[in-house]
Amino acid sequence: MVAPNVVTALATFVGWGFLAILSKSMGDVATQSAAVWLATGVTFGALLAVRPARRSGVLLGTGVACALLGLLDGTPVLPSLVFALNEVLSAGVGAWVAQRFRTTTPDGRPEPGKAYAGLLLGAAVTSAVGASVAIGLWSWTLPEQVQLATEWRVWASTTFVGVLLVAPLVISFSGFRVRRSGGMNSAEFFAGAGTLVLFFVVATLIFSSDVSDRFGTSLGATLTYLPLPFMVLTAILWKERGATVATLIGALALIGWTAAGGGPFAEIEGFRGEAIIEVQGYVAVMALLVGVVNALGAVNAHALAQASDWRTRYRQILESNRTVVANFDAVSGLAQWGDGAGPLLRVDTALLRTVHDLIAHAELEQQTALQADWRDLAAGHREHVLWKTVLRWSDGKVVTLGARLSSVRGADGQVEQVAALLDVEVPHAG
């Protein structure tokens, strides 16, 4: 049986190597740094996604892949090893920073908002540490003078964008399991596919050729950010996994078109490949928007899941004690019945539209007193009343009911509704 760390190292080696080769093929730049760099996102994301025991495998796979790439590019052995160490160190430090924000809730899941904030901070740390070490290495290894500020900016910006694009994809798919049910429904899928197609249609018009020739010098540049709303809509519809895939594909298309000389960023370049670096700022804005949408969506989904969980527990507790919850409007008497009220009361609660419908099924000699209690509560003359009665339904079923009704006042001090806890005793036969 292959050790888990070896599998992790091989998977990281393949993923890192593939994205490194893809990055280097997407554009050329007049600096020592690559114009596009996605590979670090694999290391960063994997360090956050895997168990602590497997992180050494991630670092090993990254280090071997980076050193081998350097050797294949003609870099001497020692510098290749040092650059590989820098890749491992910078991603490791950034992931460690991001991990500090991944505090878990009682159910074991990370808090989405804090987790994404940690990812952003960790990405910034990774890019800054890597760029700072790299310019020192170039000063040491290269005989010619290096423009340190430019080199630092290119390394830091391309690494930061790579982490933003790839790390969320790795994290979101780390626990992926193929299921026959669940996930998005067909309506959400096709709606998201439609907005993604619109993104590519609009992006093609703006980025695939010279936008000034197509729309005019004055109008062309103003259309640059027009595709972004369609990607945000795709993220809303497709949620985290679909959104991360769509964002990465969209980003690669934008960078590829710019590298081919299309789009607004290719019109003016200060040095060769500057447009490819600048478009990554655009891509970073897109990734940030999608990331924030995903984080907010996850926060809402987490809150809804917690509310549903507490609602289920609340209902179970009430049902185990044979207790029914209801609210009655103080003016009209309209009833709102809690979950599970019908089975406990042995009646369809849709037939009990008001508190008066409930009182009408009580013992005949008690109905006048119950109506008087209700009027006192609704008028605010009394805060609480206790009922003890037998309810007889039209189908012959009978339940014994004990109830506590309490008035609920609004901001103006007037009674707005009456809350009721109804204890249903074991029903009589019949």
Tokens standing for 231?
């990607």
Tell me what pLDDT residue 220 has. 62
**pLDDT band at 124, cuts 50/70/90?**
very high
The pTM for the full model equals 0.74
pLDDT exceeds 80 at position 95: yes
The mean pLDDT value for 328-349 works out to: 87
- Give residue limits of the domains in the chain: 1-174, 191-270+285-320, 321-424
pLDDT exceeds 90 at position 210: no
Tokens standing for 91?
């991603």
- Point out which residues pair with 336 in neighbouring strands: 327
- The CATH number of 1-174 is 1.10.1760
Topology classification of domain 321-424:
Beta-Lactamase (3.30.450)
Question: What sign has the CA pseudo-torsion 246, 251, 257, 262?
Answer: positive
DSSP per position, 120-162: HHHHHHHHHHHHHHHHHHHHHH-SS---HHHHHHHHHHHHHHH
- Residues 158 and 344: their CA atoms lie apart, in Å, by 63
Q: What is the pLDDT of residues 353-401, one digit of tens each?
A: 999 999 999 988 999 999 999 999 988 899 999 999 899 998 888 888 8
What is the widest separation between alpha-carbon atoms in the chain?
Answer: 106
Q: By mean pLDDT, which of 185-199, 211-225, 367-381 is the weakest?
A: 211-225
